[in-house]
Amino acid sequence: MFILPQKDSGTPTTSPGSVSTQGLHSNHGDGLEREGSGKPDQKPLKLYGVGDPTAMFSSDSPYLSSRGSIIKWFWDSAEEGYRTYHMDEYDEDENPSGIINLGTSENKLCFDLLSRRVSPGAPLGGIPSCKGLSSLGFLGTLPPESLLLASAALGTTFPPSWESHLPTGLSQSDMWRVEPSLLQYPDWRGHLFLREEVARFLSFYCRSPAPLKPENVVVLNGCASLFSALATVLCEVGEAFLIPAPYYGAITQHVYLYGNVRLAYVYLDSEVTGLETRPFQLTVEKLEMALEGANSEGVKVKGLILINPQNPLGDVYSPGELQEYLKFAKRHELHVMVDEVYMLSVFEESVGYHSVLSLERLPDPQRTHVMWATSKDFGMSGLRFGTLYTENQDVATAVSSLCRYHGLSGLVQYQMAQLLRDRDWINQVYLPENHARLKAAHTYVSGELRALGIPFVSRGAGFFIWVDLRKYLPAATFDEEMLLWRRFLDNKVLLSLGQAFECKEPGWFRLVFSDKTHRLRLGMQRVRRVLEGKSQVAEDAPSC
Amino acid sequence: MFILPQKDSGTPTTSPGSVSTQGLHSNHGDGLEREGSGKPDQKPLKLYGVGDPTAMFSSDSPYLSSRGSIIKWFWDSAEEGYRTYHMDEYDEDENPSGIINLGTSENKLCFDLLSRRVSPGAPLGGIPSCKGLSSLGFLGTLPPESLLLASAALGTTFPPSWESHLPTGLSQSDMWRVEPSLLQYPDWRGHLFLREEVARFLSFYCRSPAPLKPENVVVLNGCASLFSALATVLCEVGEAFLIPAPYYGAITQHVYLYGNVRLAYVYLDSEVTGLETRPFQLTVEKLEMALEGANSEGVKVKGLILINPQNPLGDVYSPGELQEYLKFAKRHELHVMVDEVYMLSVFEESVGYHSVLSLERLPDPQRTHVMWATSKDFGMSGLRFGTLYTENQDVATAVSSLCRYHGLSGLVQYQMAQLLRDRDWINQVYLPENHARLKAAHTYVSGELRALGIPFVSRGAGFFIWVDLRKYLPAATFDEEMLLWRRFLDNKVLLSLGQAFECKEPGWFRLVFSDKTHRLRLGMQRVRRVLEGKSQVAEDAPSC
């Protein structure tokens, strides 16, 4: 989906301080070309950095410990935009002038499917057929595009004739069970029945060469908790994980708040330097450079975090790339945490996604730890279900020991096991429909961006597009980026700004497209209004 | 329920090192008297101690950080008995010679009531009436005593005519709802609808003088997590909380594993020293002594943990006592964490329980933090629901910030709100029946102990009896206590030994009685067998 324009590449991207933001050419395979910022700034970029999560810390409480004050400060400061949003949420009927949220990475396209699958007494099998919907009275709740998309899903890797397999109108009684064992103290690793189901699920969807084992599975209440637990059991206080940036910024808190672990950034940049490269491409050279840089600052690096598909880039690593990164880690005895929470949200068939668990041989299986959750792939971030897969029993046991603080209800564990084992529903209903809806929403938003002449990065995975708004900044600074972000918010559309992802080039924004058409349309209108009326609004904008 | 024999009290209990284990007289109001150990040991007891959770630590992993190794070691070493139990669990039909668990503090008496209340499509209102049960087909699943107990509940503080209020056979459709907001990222403090319900629930059941406020409520996945979060936000690494011992031993891990916070023990002893005293009584003098002792060892104490009703003593603090402890804390600017997870499990009507939230005026409301959960009072330790109530917004916010790692499913939050708001079911069905069953089970086990001539402490709250088996130890050592514990386990009954609660007098055991009659009967038979065949078995016992 993502075809790259080529550029002469004399300067290796690993030369410290020599890479320029000038000349970005982020293009889209289906027509868009050379929408670079055209700015003349030649600001040298660092290729690594070591995060200090408390650099901006500025509050204190007589009641809290120093770390307690920092923990509170994260809450107070980190979510300003989201708090503004929650005070004025858009609602089609009750608050049509409220804020449209294109900032939070949630999949809001498939609630109808999920709701019917997990509700007791609901018909089995999600959408029985497009025709069946109206007779079941669901038509009113579905957006028009989903009816078209249901058949558009035929081109996915799942059985093309899925509609014919669907049972219709059966009573769904398999999701809710209340047994004594589910209400009593659990095995803190997760109930065995669930770990067995997770192992089977990951074996199938990650295409593992051999069946995965339940004893390597630990279940807990989301990947945020898993980052917290892994940071604590793998690192001493003050040690660090390498992470390619831009990255999902909340990880900073996840490893720091309890674990006191820092992140050492491997800065990626938008410049395309050769035939086989793409914007923000991660290379082993960059990893080596960042590791060396962190070491030179006296920071002990204990591991590497890889997000695949990547957030916010939507990038997907090839098996060859994965192997290279893993070998780099092995050379330096680094743990690798591979966050695969978007692995089933690769909606573009041409993108060949490969889980790290699909590799024939892991370079260092005892230091390779895989994370997955239902938050993204099943659109249920409020359900709080995540899982670790690791062959290292020391790591599994240590994380399990912390699972007393990350446990999820036995009832939810039962429901998750039932959901994950329902291969028919997942393969024949949920995934094709979900992918078709994601693809349609992506097509709409990317079309709008193209119409506005805005370059972006997107490869057909995840819920977001990484948008290059650098040309709308009067100067290439994060202050200007923040001003633009506030103008969006003042105009009732919430985006995520690049600085929140530790992007080193001011002017990039993450735009989430996995939402219903009417909200996307209104959101994109507001984005357009801000960008077209930029100069006037800028003068009126409140100070940062 | 608990009437104390008197003893001349010349020696104040606060004199360090002067208190003897000799002359314990732990009696039971309804007949049992003077079942002291009669041992002549005159070992001086320390009145305080500062815990070193890693004192026994002896394993290391090349893959883990030093704290990770300790965290793993807790898992490996702390639950030996429970692992043995889980490999050989008693089952009436399938494993009748398996281990009976009288060690884990869970209420296994009311699963039928809970199951019917939380299941979709189940009849509303739990037990409609004793007569109604057989017609609904529940008779087979209920133990005979519960039928008797249903009417025995008339003597509780709840409406005596509750049976007549019961709706029968209605469809229970209010527990399960799947809404987008429940599947999306939550407010990490807990959904507002749940915090509102918790505030109303605590206002009513804690009998607060004024309505409690939702903004003071934080919801998370159990009190283990709450201890972890409070320790982290209130203390620096290495600081400590005071805790009267014996105490629920898992708190050691809860404050240490993530928070690196230690416990400073306020040692209580069994000796009764005056008219108004009882065994293991907490006094302000003991608190002062322990605080001074910890300070003298250079340990900074930041707070005091009170468990009320107490675990493992089943003790209940009077309002006057509570005020004294709180004033002590205020004098020293200590936070007080009041763990009230057994507040609705006071099954003896004559015991006047008072929540700290019922006090007209808290001495230091900004440093008073109340903990409650459904694990004990609603017999659902596997559901993972706990809550903090604090007027201190700094503390509430800092804990909320950590709630990203302690979140519970939106679906469970909805279910909990529905459960907590169902005052009719709680007051008219669940609590009277639960209390009656607890009382009957307690009556049976205490009768058995009496028949064996075994002294014990119990006041009619909680799920356990604190049993004095000192006379069965050949020597008053923890090695002998452990040998006795192993003999119980070898004879297929699991108890909890006093050392696990940091009790300073070897020979005390916690015996959980909140289980079905057939298991209690078999368990008590095995206990009796061990105690009666003590000398022979002792010689064959494996080494510790």
- B204 contacts chain A (CB < 8 A): no
**Helices (H) and strands (E) in chain A — how many of each?**
20, 14
The residue of chain A with its CA nearest to that of B180 is A111
Q: How far is A411 from chain B (nearest CA, A)?
A: 7
**What digits encode the pLDDT tens for the residues B283-306?**
999 999 999 999 999 999 999 999
Mean pLDDT of A445-457: 97
Pairing of strands A493-494, A100-101: parallel
Could you count the other beta carbons within 10 Å of the beta carbon of residue A538?
16
Q: Which residue has the tokens 């089995």?
A: A124
Task: Give the residues of chain B that fall short of pLDDT 70.
Answer: 1-45, 78-79, 120-173, 534-544
Rounded Cα distance, B312 and B456, in Å: 11
Would you state the pLDDT for residue A146?
Answer: 36
The residue of chain A with its CA nearest to that of B59 is A394
> B36: helix, coil or strand?
coil
Rounded Cα distance, B231 and B237, in Å: 9
Would you state the pLDDT for residue B10?
Answer: 33
Would you state the pLDDT for residue B79?
Answer: 64
Could you count the other beta carbons within 10 Å of the beta carbon of residue A486?
19
Would you state the pLDDT for residue A118?
Answer: 83
Closest CB to B183 among A121, A379, A404: A379
**Region of residue A220 (left: phi > 0; alpha: psi -120 to 50; beta: else):** beta
Structure tokens at A325: 């990164």
Alpha helices in A334-466 (DSSP H): 374-377, 393-402, 410-421, 423-424, 431-451
Residue A45: which pLDDT band, with cuts at 50, 70 and 90? low
Q: Do B401 and A63 touch (CB under 8 A)?
A: no
In terms of pLDDT, which residue wins out, A456 or A124?
Answer: A456
Would you state the pLDDT for residue B497?
Answer: 96
Rounded Cα distance, A248 and A268, in Å: 14
> A527: helix, coil or strand?
helix
- With 0-12 / 13-18 / 19 or more C-beta atoms within 10 angstroms meaning exposed / middle / buried, residue A238 is exposed
**Interface with B, mutate which of A54, A57, A59, A63 (most B CBs under 10 A):** A63
Closest CB to A383 among B111, B183, B394: B183
- Phi, psi angle pair for A133, to nearest 5°: -60, -50
> B421: helix, coil or strand?
helix
Could you count the other beta carbons within 10 Å of the beta carbon of residue A327?
13
Q: Distance between the two ends of chain B, CA-based, in angstroms?
A: 37
Nearest partner of A468 among A481, A479, A459, judged by Cα: A481
The residue of chain A with its CA nearest to that of B233 is A68
- B234 contacts chain A (CB < 8 A): yes
Mean pLDDT of A349-366: 96
Q: Do A61 and B176 touch (CB under 8 A)?
A: no
Rounded Cα distance, B106 and A184, in Å: 7
Helix (H) or strand (E) run with residue B387 in it:
strand B386-390
Rounded Cα distance, A371 and A362, in Å: 16
Per-residue burial over A116-138, b if 16 or more Cβ lie within 10 Å, else e, is: bbbbbebbbbbbbbbebbeeeeb
Q: Do B120 and A253 touch (CB under 8 A)?
A: no
Look up residue A411 and give its amino acid: L
- Inform me whether the pLDDT recorded for A16 exceeds 60: no
Rounded Cα distance, B367 and B241, in Å: 13
Q: Do A184 and B68 touch (CB under 8 A)?
A: no
* A496 strand-pairing partners: A510
Give the global pTM. 0.85
- Phi, psi angle pair for A541, to nearest 5°: -65, 140
Would you state the pLDDT for residue A52?
Answer: 86
Alpha helices in A159-191 (DSSP H): 162-165, 180-183
- A239 contacts chain B (CB < 8 A): yes
* B303 strand-pairing partners: B241, B335
- Cβ contacts below 8 Å, chain A against chain B, sum to 241
Domain B180-421, classified CATH 3.40.640.10, yes or no: yes
> A421: helix, coil or strand?
helix
In terms of pLDDT, which residue wins out, A340 or A134?
Answer: A340
Cβ(B454)–Cβ(B344) below 8 Å: no
Q: Distance between the two ends of chain A, CA-based, in angstroms?
A: 38
Tally of residues, chain B: 544
Task: Tell me what ipTM this predicted complex has.
Answer: 0.85
Residue A44: which pLDDT band, with cuts at 50, 70 and 90? low
**Interface with B, mutate which of A72, A393, A415 (most B CBs under 10 A):** A72
Rounded Cα distance, A33 and B61, in Å: 53
Would you state the pLDDT for residue B134?
Answer: 30
In terms of pLDDT, which residue wins out, A191 or B137?
Answer: A191
- B83 contacts chain A (CB < 8 A): no
Q: How far is B416 from chain A (nearest CA, A)?
A: 12
Taking CB atoms and an 8 Å cutoff, what residues of chain A touch B414? none
**What digits encode the pLDDT tens for the residues A198-236?**
999 999 999 999 999 999 999 999 999 999 999 999 999
B25 contacts: CB under 8 Å, gap ≥ 6: B4, B5, B7, B33, B34, B35, B36, B272, B455
- B245 contacts chain A (CB < 8 A): no
B240 contacts: CB under 8 Å, gap ≥ 6: B50, B51, B261, B262, B263, B264, B294, B299, B300, B301, B302
Q: Do B392 and A72 touch (CB under 8 A)?
A: no
Nearest partner of B231 among B310, B309, B305, judged by Cα: B305
Structure tokens at B59: 């394993």
Cα angle A432-A434-A440, degrees, rounded to a multiple of 5: 100
Q: What is the dihedral of CA B142, B148, B152, B158, to 10 degrees?
A: 30
Q: Within chain A, what is the greatest distance between any pair of CA atoms?
A: 68
Closest CB to B409 among A61, A236, A408: A408
Structure tokens at A520: 């996307």
Which of 161-180 (B) contact A at CB < 8 A?
A: 176, 178, 180
Could you count the other beta carbons within 10 Å of the beta carbon of residue B535?
9
Q: Do B120 and A118 touch (CB under 8 A)?
A: no
- A405 contacts chain B (CB < 8 A): yes
Residue A150: which pLDDT band, with cuts at 50, 70 and 90? very low
DSSP state letters, B485-504 = HHHHHHTTEE-EEGGGGT-S
Would you state the pLDDT for residue A274?
Answer: 82
Range among A54-63, A422-431, B28-37 with highest mean pLDDT value: A422-431
- A10 contacts chain B (CB < 8 A): no
Taking CB atoms and an 8 Å cutoff, what residues of chain A touch B114? 178, 183
Closest CB to A412 among B104, B257, B411: B411
Q: Do A404 and B233 touch (CB under 8 A)?
A: no
Range among A83-97, A272-286, B6-20, B242-256 with highest mean pLDDT value: B242-256
Cβ(B120)–Cβ(B176) below 8 Å: yes
Q: HEC profile for B116-174?
A: HHHCCCCECCCCCCHHHHHHHCCHHHCCHHHHHHHHHHHHCCCCCCHHHHCCCCCECCC
Q: Where does B139-268 show beta strands of DSSP type E?
A: 217-220, 240-245, 262-267
Would you state the pLDDT for residue A48?
Answer: 87
- Inform me whether the pLDDT recorded for A35 exceeds 80: no
* B50 strand-pairing partners: B264
Would you state the pLDDT for residue A173?
Answer: 58
- B379 contacts chain A (CB < 8 A): yes
Average pLDDT taken over every residue of chain A? 83
Q: How far is B498 from chain A (nearest CA, A)?
A: 21
Residue A57: which pLDDT band, with cuts at 50, 70 and 90? confident
Q: How far is A292 from chain B (nearest CA, A)?
A: 21
